[in-house]
């Protein structure tokens, strides 16, 4: 695949990951997955029970979409809770992939980075491929990589806020410090332009849920985000011009048809 994304040795041609929570209906979720052309969807164990009638219906929808499942530990507040949820998710969903969340603050849903590193170390030791939801902190990133994580998922802004990039300096620094590590922006994006902006910074992918599921037209918004991600990636590869403090004419001034000094 040209310009393929590789996450834990799995090659993908889509750089948009999609959450599956809070859609108006299962039918709209299925249409949004198709419109986004995503190959990875996140699923919360707390929301979907594998053995229930609702869970079986949901599983049928996901299987028919062809997308790979990335279970998450959404809502977990402690290391023990996150690790136990991950282990249960592996049994229910049949995958070693886990999006690891350990929430530390109720208002911002900011990760508890101390618990996050501890839980990541335990899960990696247990054979999991961990996708840690983190802040844009360089030290935390280093510790997560030392723990065995091979993908990092920094936030752009608090979950569900739709604010876009809160700390562009932090995201740029993270990209610059870890050029070989796949970085997926997770949380806070609210518009396709936000997705394009983080992709232009050189990020490898984005993960969305609320911005699509709570849009007036989730299917159209999923399609718009896919376009935004692709445009941002194409712009990054094309190497955008460097911003300047002063104007520079785009049309050469030499050889103008009218030159006042020529008279």
Catalytic residue among 80, 99, 143, 239: 99
Sheet with 40-44, side-by-side order of all strands = 153-154, 129-134, 97-100, 68-72, 40-44, 16-19, 205-208, 184-186
- Is 239 tagged catalytic? no
| Strand intervals (E) in the chain | 5-7, 10-12, 16-19, 40-44, 68-72, 97-100, 129-134, 153-154, 184-186, 205-208
- For 2, the 3-state DSSP assignment is coil
Residue 240 CA, distance from chain mean position: 22
Q: How far apart are CA 21 and CA 35, in angstroms?
A: 16
Q: How far apart are CA 68 and CA 263, in angstroms?
A: 72
Rg from Cα positions in the chain: 21
Assigned token pair, 69: 């499942």
- For 97, the 3-state DSSP assignment is strand
Q: How far apart are CA 107 and CA 104, in angstroms?
A: 9
Q: How far apart are CA 71 and CA 130, in angstroms?
A: 10
Parallel, antiparallel or unpaired: strands 184-186 and 153-154: unpaired
- List, in order, residues 6 or more apart from 111 with CB less than 8 Å away: 101, 102, 103, 104, 132, 133, 134, 135, 155
List active site positions.
Answer: 99
């Amino acid at each position: 695949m040209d310009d393929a994304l590789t996450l834990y040795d799995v090659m993908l041609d889509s750089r948009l990951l999609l959450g599956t929570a809070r859609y108006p209906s299962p039918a709209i979720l299925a249409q949004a997955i198709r419109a986004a052309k995503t190959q990875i969807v996140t699923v919360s164990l707390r929301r979907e029970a594998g053995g229930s009638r609702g869970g079986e219906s949901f599983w049928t929808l996901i299987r028919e979409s062809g997308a790979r499942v990335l279970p998450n530990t959404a809502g977990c507040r402690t290391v023990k809770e996150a690790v136990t949820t991950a282990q249960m998710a592996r049994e229910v969903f049949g995958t070693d992939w886990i999006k690891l969340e350990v929430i530390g603050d109720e208002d911002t849903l900011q990760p508890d980075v101390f618990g996050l590193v501890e839980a990541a170390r335990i899960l990696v030791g247990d054979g999991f491929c961990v996708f840690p939801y983190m802040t844009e902190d360089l030290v935390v990133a280093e510790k997560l990589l030392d723990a065995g994580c091979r993908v990092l998922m920094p936030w752009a802004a608090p979950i569900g806020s739709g604010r876009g990039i809160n700390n562009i300096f932090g995201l740029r620094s993270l990209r610059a410090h870890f050029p070989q590590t796949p970085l997926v922006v997770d949380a806070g994006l609210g518009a396709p332009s936000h997705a394009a902006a983080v992709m232009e910074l050189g990020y490898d992918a984005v993960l969305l849920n609320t911005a699509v599921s709570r849009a007036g037209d989730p299917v159209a918004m999923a399609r718009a985000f896919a376009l935004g991600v692709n445009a941002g990636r194409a712009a990054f590869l094309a190497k955008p011009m460097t911003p300047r403090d002063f104007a520079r004419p785009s049309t050469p001034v030499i050889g103008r048809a009218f030159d006042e000094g020529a008279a």
